[in-house]
Structures are given as structure tokens and as C-alpha cells.
């Protein structure tokens, strides 16, 4: 009898790219002999009074109870933790997803574990207030130098990452964020428009590519970056695997910058990284390694 699994995704995100990812995961599960069913987080409610999971449809409850594992391909960590309290095995676990989703938490968790750009948490304000004074920016400019990077703590595809070339530009960026939480980071100029994406499953890198963009300081494919296959070095691989394991992830897309003499510097870690461009660049379908890892991890 095949292993039954449940793929829980965000019920409100319906782009062609994410739908293609879900189809690839279902197909990969089938190749591995897994009977995988797609479900959406909007099928469930977390009862915060008794911390249980309530399902809208009894069929969803039966499907959930019949699953040997959950591939939790979204960032609804309240639902994830509630499912874990019920005894379900999630790939990835809710805490690890939360560490990756909030970039400040990522760097807090990895402090002293891998080399990262010098990073400061920008003082918190409120989204209903924003920044009413910018005197604190002088410290960031003096400490990090210009240009430096401002990142919203929550963001994807490079869309919430900005480069401040001077104090005036930094103030304009901060003023435009409407009080969203963010971090400030040293800009690694040797990696301008170029980074390494390493896809880690378990304790190994299964595929790697370089993303390059001559027209933008960011290398994300969504911003015009071009992917190409890359032979990862031992040092880079060790960093990618170490960051993945330290965050408690079963799998991750780890982005690494190129420092002086190509020294690896961690950029960020993605708990449910898209892999369409990686497949195109490397001809490696990471879902095969992913489901092999899942099966080997089950009791």
C-alpha cells in the first residue's frame, strides 16, 4: 500500500509559477510511490482556545488523519504548529519556516554559525505611524557605509530589497516602507547582481546554480536574473548545509554571495524555494531527492 502524504499550500496564492511548482511536487511524489493529495490552508482553522485544528470539510479531516506526513509548502506557521501538536510530521517544520520567513530571525538564529554580511535590525515603529524621525539612519550610514542594503523582514523574489546609495536615498526608502519591519545590511559589492542558489535536501546539496543580472544589484530571476549551472565548492556546500541544519530545515534554497576571492557569505535561506529555474539550468529535479529524504525520515 503506498505511503499517503498531504501537500498543504497557501489557498490564496494562485500564480502560474506556484501552480507549476505544486504540479511538480505531486508528480515527484507519484514517482516515489507516494499517494499525495493537494490541500489548502484555507481548509483549516486553528482554534486558539484549545489549540486544535478544525477542518471545514469532514473529508479534509479524514484525509489529514490518513496521511503519514505533510509537505507544508506555505508559511502559515500557526496552522503548522497546531498540526504538529496533533502529532503530524511536517516537512519543513513550523519553527524552521518562521525562522526563514522573518529575515531578522534568520540572522539572529545563524549568529556565529556561518559568515553573514554585517546586519542591523532597524528600530521598530508601527505601520500606522511609520518613521517620524530618521536620526537613527546616521548610525547605519556611518557603520555600514554607502551603499548599504535595506530589506523588509518579510519578502520574496527580491521585491522588498533596496539599495541605499546615500543618506537621502536611505531616508526615502525608509519613509516609503510605511513602518514595515526591516533590517540594514552591508552591501557585498563583489557579488553585485550575482549569487549562488544551492538547493539542500537533508545533509547535502542536490543542485546549484548561479543567478546573474547585469542590470540590477539583485540577482533574482523575477528581477531579470539569468540562471546557469554551477559546480559548487566544498566551502560553499558546507555553508549551505550548515545553515539549513542550524535552522532545523529538511530542505531549503540557500542563497550565497561571493565575497573577496569568492569567499562564501550567506545572503538568505528560503524554506520553500521555487525550483523551476533550477531545473532549467541544471536538468536536476530536486523533488526526487526531496521525497527520498521524506520517506527515509518516516518511522
Coil, helix or strand for 82?
Answer: helix
pLDDT score of 158: 67
Average pLDDT, stretch 19-27? 95
The whole-model pTM stands at 0.93
Residues 6 or more apart in contact with residue 206 via CB below 8 angstroms: 199, 200, 284, 286, 289
Q: What is the pLDDT of residues 46-99, one digit of tens each?
A: 999 988 999 989 999 999 999 999 999 999 999 999 999 999 999 999 999 999
Angstrom distance (rounded) from CA 166 to CA 180: 21
Q: What is the pLDDT of residues 172-184, one digit of tens each?
A: 999 999 999 999 9
pLDDT score of 156: 77
Query: How large is the angle between the packed helices 94-101 and 77-85, nearest 10 degrees?
Result: 160
**For residue 220, is pLDDT > 90?**
no
Average pLDDT, stretch 289-298? 97
Q: What is the pLDDT of residues 117-171, one digit of tens each?
A: 999 999 999 988 999 999 999 999 999 999 999 999 998 776 799 999 999 999 9
Strand-pair category, 182-186 with 148-152: antiparallel
Coil, helix or strand for 58?
Answer: helix
Angstrom distance (rounded) from CA 84 to CA 67: 13
Amino acid at each position: 500500500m503506498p505511503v499517503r502524504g498531504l501537500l498543504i499550500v497557501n489557498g490564496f496564492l494562485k500564480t502560474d509559477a506556484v501552480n507549476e511548482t505544486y504540479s511538480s511536487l505531486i508528480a515527484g511524489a507519484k514517482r516515489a510511490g507516494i499517494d499525495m493529495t493537494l490541500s489548502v490552508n484555507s481548509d483549516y482553522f486553528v482554534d486558539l482556545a484549545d489549540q486544535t485544528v478544525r477542518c471545514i470539510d469532514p473529508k479534509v479531516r479524514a484525509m489529514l488523519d490518513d496521511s503519514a506526513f505533510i509537505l507544508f509548502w506555505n508559511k502559515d506557521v500557526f496552522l503548522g504548529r497546531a498540526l504538529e501538536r496533533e502529532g503530524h510530521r511536517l516537512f519543513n517544520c513550523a519553527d524552521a519556516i518562521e525562522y526563514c520567513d522573518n529575515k531578522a530571525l534568520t540572522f539572529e538564529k545563524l549568529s556565529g554559525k556561518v559568515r553573514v554580511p554585517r546586519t542591523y535590525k532597524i528600530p521598530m515603529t508601527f505601520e500606522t505611524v511609520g518613521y517620524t524621525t530618521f536620526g537613527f539612519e546616521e548610525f547605519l550610514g556611518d557603520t555600514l557605509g554607502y551603499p548599504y542594503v535595506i530589506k523588509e523582514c518579510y519578502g520574496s523574489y527580491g521585491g522588498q530589497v533596496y539599495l541605499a546609495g546615500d543618506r537621502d536615498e536611505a531616508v526615502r526608502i525608509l519613509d516609503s516602507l510605511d513602518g514595515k519591519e526591516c533590517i540594514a545590511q552591508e552591501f557585498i559589492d563583489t557579488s553585485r547582481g550575482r549569487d549562488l542558489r544551492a538547493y539542500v535536501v537533508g545533509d547535502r546539496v542536490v543542485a546549484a546554480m548561479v543567478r546573474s543580472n547585469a542590470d540590477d544589484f539583485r540577482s533574482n530571476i523575477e528581477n531579470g536574473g539569468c540562471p546557469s549551472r554551477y559546480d559548487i565548492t566544498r566551502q560553499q556546500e558546507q555553508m549551505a548545509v550548515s545553515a539549513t541544519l542550524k535552522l532545523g530545515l529538511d530542505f531549503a534554497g540557500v542563497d550565497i554571495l561571493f565575497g573577496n576571492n569568492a569567499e562564501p557569505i550567506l545572503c538568505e535561506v528560503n524554506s520553500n524555494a521555487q525550483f523551476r529555474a533550477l531545473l532549467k539550468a541544471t536538468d536536476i529535479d530536486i523533488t526526487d531527492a526531496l521525497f527520498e529524504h521524506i520517506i527515509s525520515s518516516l518511522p
